[in-house]
């Protein structure tokens, strides 16, 4: 009996096609320019300790799903932070500081972005204030404090921590380094997204001329998804099928694509996919996502722990992969799509498909990771 033939049905909650889909490279690169993308790679690739993260092949899974190849970008190996976020927040800190040592940077975070900002501040000898919601684990808070940040816990969800960050930063003249954009705050989130595009440059260098047919991208506020699509526009000749995956409790990109305008989600319950539990898509990536994403799929939390365990046990690949809870959704959505014949046919998943998945984090919260894989 194979892993996927044991009677377990891999769940998705909703699947939609974007009726306004139109992949326009020039329009995408107007939102995040070639200059921004190339400058980010030039700078980050020269940081001490930089090396490309592995592109792992999920050969066992591709065989079971009857797909050609599945590539998994393993961001658990990104610097010492175990997350793709290391590329964004730290790079934005470098850009906004402009060599100054007397500024204080501040951000609100669910965890990984804050660690990146704190790490970036420490690299440059800057003070750092991190605002977290009451739902962020003590382990994640400690990880940021261990990097020298002053961590401030705020009652309520992520949005409440962001409001408090903006309030105190305005009062104290701190420099906000946020990965979410709003009116009059668009430049810094672009720096963050430009940092994320380093992943696509590495992937193109690693892919060994295999044409990517599908990319599945996790979305919270949409920064990583938008950045990777900009990377596609910058580096790929072909246009893959682009699928965004979100928690069903916070599918803000999906709901916005349904109406063609930004929709705010009232989050009733927090998802295990904590870094993706965001109620509103950010303005900068929205300009990219609204036309360039072809499909959206939302997931319940049901298969997160099991998928993390299967990746960690080497059931999907020759290597054992340490995958955090925000890395699992890409794998789950791929399996669920292959098990649903209508979706499989719609998105053209077949024996010729080469799928790219983003393993966006490792065990950034080690206590949570152990708890989930040992369920």
Distance CA 195, CA 275 (A): 18
Does 199 lie in the same domain as 51?
yes
Question: Does residue 39 sit within a domain?
Answer: yes
Residue 269 phi, psi (nearest 5): -145, 145
Average pLDDT over residues 360-371: 92
Does 41 lie in the same domain as 174?
no
Q: Which of 143, 178, 213 is the last residue of a domain?
A: 178
Distance CA 320, CA 315 (A): 8
Does 174 lie in the same domain as 208?
no
Does 99 lie in the same domain as 43?
no
CA distances from 232 to 26, 112, 358 (A): 12, 24, 14
Question: Does residue 45 sit within a domain?
Answer: yes
Does 204 lie in the same domain as 166?
no
Task: Measure the CA angle with vertex 372, ends 267 and 299; round to 5°.
Answer: 40
Distance CA 266, CA 199 (A): 31
Q: Is 188 exposed, middle or buried (0-12, 13-18, 19+ CB in 10 A)?
A: buried
Q: Which of 124, 145, 178 is the last residue of a domain?
A: 178
Out of 5-9, 279-283, 287-291, the most confident range is 287-291
Does 368 lie in the same domain as 220?
yes
Does 43 lie in the same domain as 128?
no
Does 210 lie in the same domain as 133?
no
Q: Which domain holds residue 105?
A: 89-178
Which tens digit of pLDDT belongs to each residue from 85-127? 999 999 999 999 988 889 999 999 987 899 999 999 999 999 9
Question: Does residue 184 sit within a domain?
Answer: no
pLDDT at 7 over 90: no
Number of folded domains in the chain?
Answer: 2
| pTM > 0.85: yes or no | yes
| Contact in structure between 190 and 284 (CB atoms under 8 Å) | yes
Does 27 lie in the same domain as 128?
no
């Amino acid at each position: 009996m194979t892993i996927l033939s044991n009677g377990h049905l891999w769940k998705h909650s909703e699947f939609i096609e974007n009726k306004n889909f139109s992949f326009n490279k020039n329009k995408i690169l107007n939102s995040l320019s070639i200059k921004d993308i190339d400058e980010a790679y030039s700078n980050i690739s020269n940081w001490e300790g930089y090396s490309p993260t592995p592109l792992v092949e999920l050969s066992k899974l591709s065989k079971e799903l009857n797909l050609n190849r599945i590539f998994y970008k393993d961001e658990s190996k990104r610097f010492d932070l175990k997350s793709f976020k290391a590329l964004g927040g730290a790079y934005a800190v470098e850009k906004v500081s402009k060599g100054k040592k007397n500024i204080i940077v501040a951000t609100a975070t669910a965890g990984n972005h804050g660690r990146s900002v704190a790490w970036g501040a420490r690299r440059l000898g800057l003070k750092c204030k991190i605002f977290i919601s009451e739902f962020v684990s003590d382990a994640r808070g400690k990880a940021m404090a261990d990097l020298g940040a002053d961590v401030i816990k705020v009652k309520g969800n992520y949005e409440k921590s962001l409001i408090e960050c903006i309030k105190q930063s305005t009062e104290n003249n701190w420099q906000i380094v946020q990965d979410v954009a709003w009116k009059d705050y668009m430049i810094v989130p672009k720096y963050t997204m430009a940092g994320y595009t380093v992943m696509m440059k590495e992937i193109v260098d690693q892919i060994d001329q295999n044409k990517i047919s599908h990319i599945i991208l996790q979305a919270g506020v949409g920064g990583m998804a938008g950045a990777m699509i900009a990377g596609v526009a910058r580096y790929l000749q072909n246009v893959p099928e682009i699928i965004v995956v979100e928690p069903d409790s916070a599918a803000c990109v999906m709901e916005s694509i349904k109406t063609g305008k930004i929709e705010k989600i009232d989050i009733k319950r927090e998802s295990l996919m904590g870094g993706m539990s965001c109620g509103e898509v950010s303005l900068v990536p929205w300009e990219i996502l609204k036309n360039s994403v072809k499909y959206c799929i939302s997931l319940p939390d049901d298969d997160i722990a099991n998928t993390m365990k299967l990746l960690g046990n080497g059931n999907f690949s020759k290597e054992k992969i340490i995958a955090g809870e925000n890395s699992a959704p890409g794998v789950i959505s791929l399996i669920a799509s292959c098990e649903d014949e209508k979706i499989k046919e719609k998105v053209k998943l077949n024996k010729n498909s080469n799928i790219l998945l983003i393993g966006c984090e490792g065990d950034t919260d080690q206590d949570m990771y152990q708890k989930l894989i040992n369920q």
